[in-house]
Amino acid sequence: MSSSALPTTTADRDEASVPSVAISVSRLSKAYHIYSRPQHRLWQAVLRGRRQFYREFHALQDVSFDVPRGQVIGVIGRNGSGKSTLLQIICGTLTATSGAVQTGGRVAALLELGAGFNAEFTGRENVYVNGAILGLTRREMTERMPQIVAFADIGEFIDQPIKTYSSGMVVRLAFSVIAHVDADVLIIDEALAVGDAFFVQKCMRFLRDFMARGTVLFVSHDSGAVINLCHRAIWLHEGRLVADGAPAEVVDLYLASLAGESPAPARQAGAAAPPIDDDRRAFGRGGARITDVALLGADEQPLRAFAGGELVTLRIRCQTRERLDSPIVGFILKDRLGQVLFSENTFVHWTSGDRTCAPDSRVEARFEFVMPSLAAGDYVIGAAIADGTQLSHVQHHWIHDALAVTAVPARDWTGGLLGVPMRGVSLVIQPPA
């Protein structure tokens, strides 16, 4: 594996010194030797390859992609798919079995909880050590120390050993360090899942600002974050890159796999998506099928545009093909980026009675609600029918883009993802006594 050297100073770096490609991964593979017994490791060393006492586990297999400077890339996949291994090799904390990685500019990483920290050192001492690893002088880190301490907000614990920290405090300090080292590339592995809500919001504000000038590669199981933050998404499955493209499209493929479809398709980057039903992206086992989705106004007539505040009914009609013991019908409303704004299903509202559906039954679900105010633009409603419970079910038919609707400008729209109708707003002014 080859890797470009990290710069040692930050003072006079200019645009010409930073390559247009921030990360280049070429045919990267990582294999581990798995021994069934401890003594087999010794036997393998003594016999020096004349006999093999191990089996190979491939954490990564022939992974290739480039990350242009200034892009935000999300890496998704199931546990054990090779996401963390990929990030560690890019950072240089793991050595690849084959392939090459090249990075341009200073790379700062926040990987496993506490990685790079010495538990016996104080937080302040660890800040200096991490700064030195990233090529900053002690003087530079001393100048940044007040900002680092303020961002971490761990109080007097900055001068206590790391072994006395909670997991959240470790994340706070680690993120604070990488936020203040003038990095060109940030690599983050699910670290923000540990922090409290206020700190996560602080980190997100920093990340959004950094994304305007730097490159970010991060692992997340939050599909909404990937769709909202990323220019591209990469899906790893069993060590292979099976999808690389627009975040909403890659996330949809990934969610289809999680919902009980066959294992991830063996697709290469840029390959076409698998065939879909009725020219809409859909998947499912096929024991039931959605036949019609309609958004109805108060007069029960189809509604294609709304301003917010209207009483509407979403009607989903289905046809069963086999027996369903506990059918669930649900929907999601997504914006143009694929972010889920809200959703609902019938399982949580079922009160009593037999849920069983015989084959060839007709099923109709109706959801009545007040449409919230939304920014003007196009939105998509996805619909699904499944069998089981809220936590454990089989998807029989899921249509990602079942119905398109349009929000028209609302006079009282003030911004945000959605607006909630106010029952009353008051303003009381008391003049000075």
The one-letter amino acid code at 268 reads Q
Q: Are residues 22 and 97 in the same domain?
A: yes
Task: Tell me whether residue 358 is in a domain.
Answer: yes
Q: Are residues 287 and 245 in the same domain?
A: no
- C-alpha–C-alpha distance, residues 234 and 23, integer Å: 14
13: nearest Cα among 85, 141, 101, 104: 104
Domains: count for the chain: 2
Q: What is the CATH number of the domain that holds 345?
A: 2.70.50.60
Q: Are residues 331 and 208 in the same domain?
A: no
Q: Are residues 383 and 303 in the same domain?
A: yes
Q: Are residues 235 and 293 in the same domain?
A: no
Angle at 29 between CA 26 and CA 32, to 5 degrees: 160
CA distances from 171 to 73, 87, 207, 221, 430 (A): 21, 17, 15, 18, 45
Task: Tell me whether residue 273 is in a domain.
Answer: no
The H or E element containing residue 110 is strand 107-110
The one-letter amino acid code at 104 reads G
pLDDT per 10-residue tile (average), the chain, 433 residues: 36 50 92 82 74 82 92 90 91 89 86 76 93 89 94 92 90 89 86 67 82 86 80 92 90 76 40 38 88 92 85 94 93 85 88 83 93 85 91 89 83 70 78 86
- C-alpha–C-alpha distance, residues 324 and 322, integer Å: 6
Q: Are residues 202 and 310 in the same domain?
A: no
- C-alpha–C-alpha distance, residues 421 and 39, integer Å: 69
Q: Are residues 240 and 314 in the same domain?
A: no
Task: Tell me whether residue 148 is in a domain.
Answer: no
What is the model's pLDDT at position 4? Answer: 36
What is the model's pLDDT at position 19? Answer: 55
Q: Are residues 335 and 206 in the same domain?
A: no
Q: What is the CATH number of the domain that holds 240?
A: 3.40.50.300
383: nearest Cα among 404, 403, 368: 403
Q: Are residues 357 and 221 in the same domain?
A: no
Q: Are residues 299 and 394 in the same domain?
A: yes
Task: Tell me whether residue 10 is in a domain.
Answer: no
Instruction: Provide the token pair at 211.
Output: 């994304």
Give the residue carrying structure tokens 């997340």. Answer: 220
Q: Are residues 82 and 211 in the same domain?
A: yes
Which of residues 211, 243, 258 is at a domain's end? 258
Q: Are residues 322 and 401 in the same domain?
A: yes
Instruction: Provide the token pair at 244.
Output: 């690389």
Tens digit of each residue's pLDDT (9 = 90 or more) over 336-371: 777 888 999 998 887 777 788 999 999 999 999 998
Task: Tell me whether residue 270 is in a domain.
Answer: no
- The pTM of the full predicted model, rounded to 2 decimals, is 0.68
Q: Domain of 210?
A: 15-106+182-258
Task: Tell me whether residue 145 is in a domain.
Answer: no
Task: Tell me whether residue 113 is in a domain.
Answer: no
Tens digit of each residue's pLDDT (9 = 90 or more) over 148-204: 999 998 999 999 999 999 888 888 898 899 889 888 999 988 766 656 667 877 887
Task: Tell me whether residue 349 is in a domain.
Answer: yes
- C-alpha–C-alpha distance, residues 170 and 160, integer Å: 12
Report helix, strand or coil for 243.
strand
